[in-house]
Structure 1
Amino acid sequence: MNRPDLASAIRRLDYYIRGVAAEIVPHAYFARRLQHLRQDLDRLSADPELLARVDYCNKLTVGELHPIDAERQPTPWDGSRYYYDFMETRRFFDPSLRCRVLFGDVRHIPDQPTIVKSRPIDGDNRNSILLKLDRLRHFKLHDDPYAFEEKQPLAVWRGNVQTLPWRQRLVERHYDNPRCDVGPAPQAYGRFAAKPYLSPIDQMRYRYILSIEGNDVATNLKWIMASNSLCLMPRPRFETWFLEGRLIAGTHYVELRPDYEDLDEKIDHYEKNPAEAKALVANANAYVRQFLDHRQEKLVQLLVLEKYFKSTGQLP
């Protein structure tokens, strides 16, 4: 086991130990902690920027009744990482409060207010309430050891393409492109052989990293935007706690056509205008920083879930 694998294993072990240990702590302990946090919650509620973030994750209107059917309590067997992430916020509130939860890659909008990891960006998505779920996979960031100028002036991408036509288009169009290192991994796709695995740090050797959605969002988007490389991608269709729907093309990332026909053109432009590229990278880094304050993240999630209980008529 190499050092990155060992570090990941230790991180996962610590995550599950903490999650299991919290299960045996009485609710009264978390109820008291919630009261101690009330002043901080009130302060966040008075911050227009953070309040806008809460209202973006939970678009239900307090004062309007949004009824929900009774739902059984989720268990670790429904998806342990989702469960422990959900319970990290849920256990602060009265266990008798009802909450609809849908784990996994959610691509549709539920018919009742439901806690989800992901939702469609377009349309009326009020019934999809975002919490920071599956964070062990989606919010794993890495320190970039390379300055933008030191990186190879190429675009890179690796990923599974088997059932995803939008990823297949990328491989078909740019597998043999000398301006790119693009390929399927870990499995081959048709005549396109699988390319060697590249870790996030390996991919950071390139100036341009492609972020292509999978079943819902692109898992690599967060660490790309935290790096010194420039993120290139089509306009996102789904969003998570990372609020992909708030990203602005030409400010936080470079937008590509869905057929990727303009990839060479985009690379040429930013090779000729490196200052523009570095400005976008700086904006992306600044966007990521709002998710790095762990205490603030906890408080925002508490406000999102508290608003859920109020909007469904369960809290005054």
Structure 2
Amino acid sequence: MRPDDINAYYYAKNFGKNAMPPFYFKRKFKRLQAYRDRCDQAYLQKRLDYYLKLDSAFQLPEDAVAAKNFKRTKGTGYYLDLKEFLHYFSPDARFTYHFGDELHINPYPTLFKARPLNDKNANSVLFKLNKRRHFRWVSDSRTFEQKKDMVVWRGRSHQKQRRYFVEKYWENPTFDVGLTDKLHTQGRHLKGFMDIKTQLEHKFIACIEGYDVATNLKWAMSSNSLCIMPKPTCETWFMEGTLEAEKHYVEVKNDFSDMEEKMQYYIRRPKEAQAIIANAHRHVAQFKNRRTEDLLCFMVLEKYFELSGQTDFLRFCRP
């Protein structure tokens, strides 16, 4: 267990940071800008433009909140993830945000955790929110060939596609799948909680979307198991929209009807499976550099404030 997995430690640490005096954030700001100068600028720009697609000026609504008025309401983790970077900006810098799993698109640019994968999602600006839950990685000591020839999945029943998936493969001996709550299930297809370590004993980890992205996708892609799932319909800071079928994951039909066939295909072709796993690891690797991740969070807000026509939005002068 990581220290941050303990709620009391996590909240004490992060609320404590928010109480630090201005010179603490000024020092961090200077270090961040110095690091920015050493980075691959083309790479930074590519990711920045992915998260904030807009490149022309926009107007904020009247009810946009100023940084000085940003308060914790619901979603403490969301609040802390955004508040961490607002310290670098003027207390009067204004923005709009939405916390939660909803995928609606506002008529004005808004900071979201997730957005639908389509060509009309530019007003949903991706920010790294709820990262404590979503951005988890694993250390996997088993190779693909050392794992069980099975698909594993555990999850809540709140989405129809999850219930359908479990019902379809409930009696299949090569699938260890089950729902972890009784909501919508009338007590059917329930299985107990399975920790990540045990799930990693299986060659295939099913990643099934819920209200937005599949929460387990990120840690599963850092493992030596294959992610097997339908084509993603939404994306987060993890850039699910850039993932390619049979390159980063094994893609199956939306009704899961070919999942067993795909499983057997890769069991017989472990080298192809390992090539996909290696590509998945390369995708994950770019999110493991804490300084780059922090810099990009800063840059998303910086671009947002610039395009919204705000001046003097920085709290500190650039070195």
Q: What letter matches 1:166 in structure 2?
A: Q
Match of 2:282 in 1: 286
Pairing partner for 2:96 from 74, 96, 100: 100
Q: Distance in 1 between matches of 2:164 and 2:289?
A: 38
Cα shift at 1:195: 1.1
Larger CA deviation: 25-34 vs 164-173? 25-34
Larger CA deviation: 106-115 vs 9-18? 9-18
Q: Distance in 2 between matches of 1:256 and 1:78?
A: 36
Q: What letter matches 2:90 in structure 1?
A: D
Larger CA deviation: 121-130 vs 297-306? 121-130
Cα shift at 1:167: 0.9
Which 4+ runs in 1 deviate beyond 6 A?
A: none
Matched, 1:214 2:207: no
Matched, 1:33 2:28: yes
Match of 2:172 in 1: 177
Q: What letter matches 2:48 in structure 1?
A: V
Matched, 1:82 2:78: yes
Q: Distance in 2 between matches of 1:231 and 1:160?
A: 18
Q: Deviations over 1:227-272 (max 9, x none)?
A: 0000001111111111111111111001110100001110111011
Match of 1:147 in 2: 143
Q: Distance in 2 between matches of 1:93 and 1:191?
A: 50
Q: Deviations over 1:70-126 (max 9, x none)?
A: 323332232210001101111111111001111111311111111111111113111
Cα shift at 1:224: 0.3
- Counterpart of 1:181 in 2: which secondary structure? strand
- Counterpart of 1:78 in 2: which secondary structure? coil
Q: Are 1:160 and 1:184, in contact at CA under 8 Å, matched by a contact in 2?
A: yes
Matched, 1:201 2:197: yes
Q: Distance in 2 between matches of 1:221 and 1:138?
A: 9
Distance change (3 Å), C-alpha of 1:226 and 1:181: same
Match of 1:314 in 2: 310
Give the paired residue count.
Answer: 307
Q: Distance in 1 between matches of 2:216 and 2:79?
A: 22
Q: Are 2:77 and 2:132, in contact at CA under 8 Å, matched by a contact in 1?
A: yes
- Counterpart of 1:94 in 2: which secondary structure? coil
Larger CA deviation: 31-40 vs 103-112? 31-40
Larger CA deviation: 179-188 vs 202-211? 179-188
- Counterpart of 1:156 in 2: which secondary structure? strand
Match of 1:125 in 2: 121
Cα shift at 1:10: 5.4
- Counterpart of 2:8 in 1: which secondary structure? helix
Matched, 1:14 2:9: yes
Q: Distance in 2 between matches of 1:36 and 1:206?
A: 42
Q: What letter matches 2:147 in structure 1?
A: K
Q: Are 1:74 and 1:101, in contact at CA under 8 Å, matched by a contact in 2?
A: no
- Counterpart of 1:232 in 2: which secondary structure? strand
Pairing partner for 1:270 from 252, 266, 271: 266
Q: Distance in 1 between matches of 2:171 and 2:311?
A: 58
Q: Distance in 2 between matches of 1:172 and 1:215?
A: 19
- Counterpart of 1:267 in 2: which secondary structure? helix
Pairing partner for 2:54 from 43, 50, 60: 60
What RMSD in Å do the two structures reach over aligned CA positions?
Answer: 1.8
Q: Distance in 2 between matches of 1:97 and 1:9?
A: 30
Q: Are 2:182 and 2:188, in contact at CA under 8 Å, matched by a contact in 1?
A: no
Distance change (3 Å), C-alpha of 1:91 and 1:204: same
- Counterpart of 1:153 in 2: which secondary structure? strand
Q: What letter matches 2:160 in structure 1?
A: P
Q: Distance in 1 between matches of 2:22 and 2:211?
A: 36
Q: Are 1:132 and 1:241, in contact at CA under 8 Å, matched by a contact in 2?
A: yes
Structure 2 residues without counterparts, runs of 5 or longer: 313-319
Larger CA deviation: 14-23 vs 195-204? 14-23
* Percent of aligned positions that are identical: 39
Q: Are 1:31 and 1:93, in contact at CA under 8 Å, matched by a contact in 2?
A: no
